[in-house]
Amino acid sequence: MTSIRSRLMFGLTALLAALLLGQWLWLTYTVKELVEKQVIIQLQEETESLLANLNITNSGELQLNEDSLSSNYQRAFSGLYFTIESQQQKLYSRSLWDFSLATAPVETGMRDILYLDGPAKQPLLAVVAGYYKQGHQFTITVAENIDWMLSEKQRLVRNFSLVSAIGVLILLLFQVGMIRQVLRPLNHARRQLAQLAKGEINEVDEQAPDEIRPLLSELNRLTNSMIVKTRRSRQSLGNLAHRLKTQLTLLNQLADKESMKNAPETQQLIYQQTESIRQIIERELKRARLSGFTLPGKGVDLPDMLNQLTDTLKLIHQGKSLRITTDIDDDVRFNGDREDILELLGNLLDNACKWCQHDVHILLTMQDGLKIVIEDDGPGCEVEDLSNLTRRGFRADESIAGSGLGLAIVFDIVESYGGNLLFDQADKGGLQVTVQLQSFPSD
């Protein structure tokens, strides 16, 4: 979906352009009509003046008293012209010199407005009117050079266009600033949501416009509600686990009584069942803790965590000359639970150190989440056993001490984060474990 800023910019710019274009067209048309109307009124007055100074003899001869007319009719190519035309005769103003206006007679009482070419191709606006006087019909044409009007109109349009362009630029700059100012609370809320997702803050700032304040308030309410529910859930599960473990301890004590020694099969069955129940409790508690983690977690400092883990593992496996190397991208981050990633890396690295000859390599990159690759130079694992590594209690080599639960726990953690866990043969000959994690546990 297009951003709100883009929509506002496009919509307001289009509206502004439409308004200015409409204003430009309206001004151009209005100025033209206004000036032409004034010229036509003047030409009509000139026509009436010519009619008043025109006399027609009994023989139909047209006689014009030019003394009462404007001097512009006497000056050649002055820009003001007239013709009077009857069936027998045609009179011209001296301003026309030898030029003839291309007009046609009109009926009495009729009037035409024409655009003509005058001397030297001057643009003329002409009024042609038909009259009946002293028993004779004739046509009077008065024309005026409107080159000045067109020039003034062009200058006005040019100046208006320049002023409009400057105005549009100023309005666009103002519009950009206004939109940024209006959307600043949204940008602030977006940054805070990103910080909330990374676990840098616990709630977002509710000081926002009325339109988004209810959304932010509801988000904070839900966040706080989930924090409280998660805390209560973990406390309840911890209490339940303690009580169940106490009961399991009592069952084991009953199985240790002298009376149960006479039934070793039953005693062994009790031990097996209580151990199975204990493992189920541990597993379900871990699943509940992971699935209950629905809030953004604090960012985990993976390089520092790996340094502490490698130091600890070197102490644990002092019998080997361990060389643990790390390759960590600068942008590596994990926003989930610290205990989860610590247990995952601890189990994988402990397993690699246990089986390696000397070398263990760790690679951390960001590829669709957090990608972890751990390799060792140990004996590796048979191909047919790779699919069984995450099975609870499975041990590829019974001669090596361990419970067989480490990789199963790793699998539970990876599964809770909607990730993938892959095993393969490493280039160094040992086992390669690849873990792909999302940022937060999946539901």
Question: Which residue has better confidence, 57 or 126?
Answer: 126
- In the prediction, which pLDDT does 293 show? 47
The tokens of 171 are what? 């309005």
CA dihedral 399, 402, 408, 411 (to 10 degrees): -100
Model pTM score = 0.43
User: Does the pLDDT value for residue 291 go beyond 50?
Assistant: no
- Mean pLDDT throughout 90-114? 86
Q: Which residues contact 114 (CB under 8 A, 6 or more apart)?
A: 103, 125, 126, 127, 128
Rounded to the nearest integer, the mean pLDDT of the chain is 79
User: Does the pLDDT value for residue 398 go beyond 70?
Assistant: no
- In the prediction, which pLDDT does 365 show? 92
Tell me the residue type at 38: Q
Give percent above pLDDT 70 in the chain: 87
User: Does the pLDDT value for residue 389 go beyond 90?
Assistant: no
- In the prediction, which pLDDT does 26 show? 84
- Mean pLDDT throughout 69-90? 86
Kindly tell me the sign of the dihedral angle through the C-alpha atoms of 271, 272, 274, 278. Answer: positive
- In the prediction, which pLDDT does 10 show? 81
Q: Please state the three-class secondary structure of 200-241 as a single string.
A: CCCCCCCCCCCCCHHHHHHHHHHHHHHHHHHHHHHHHHHHHH
- In the prediction, which pLDDT does 301 show? 80
Let me know: does 378 contact 396? Beta carbons within 8 Å.
no
User: Does the pLDDT value for residue 373 go beyond 90?
Assistant: yes
User: Per mean pLDDT, which range of 80-89, 203-212, 287-296 is the poorest?
Assistant: 287-296
- Mean pLDDT throughout 333-340? 77
User: Does the pLDDT value for residue 79 go beyond 70?
Assistant: yes
Q: What angle do CA 373, 289, 239 make, to 5 degrees?
A: 140
Question: Which residue has better confidence, 107 or 286?
Answer: 107
- In the prediction, which pLDDT does 360 show? 92
User: Does the pLDDT value for residue 443 go beyond 50?
Assistant: no
User: Does the pLDDT value for residue 231 go beyond 80?
Assistant: no
User: Does the pLDDT value for residue 209 go beyond 70?
Assistant: yes
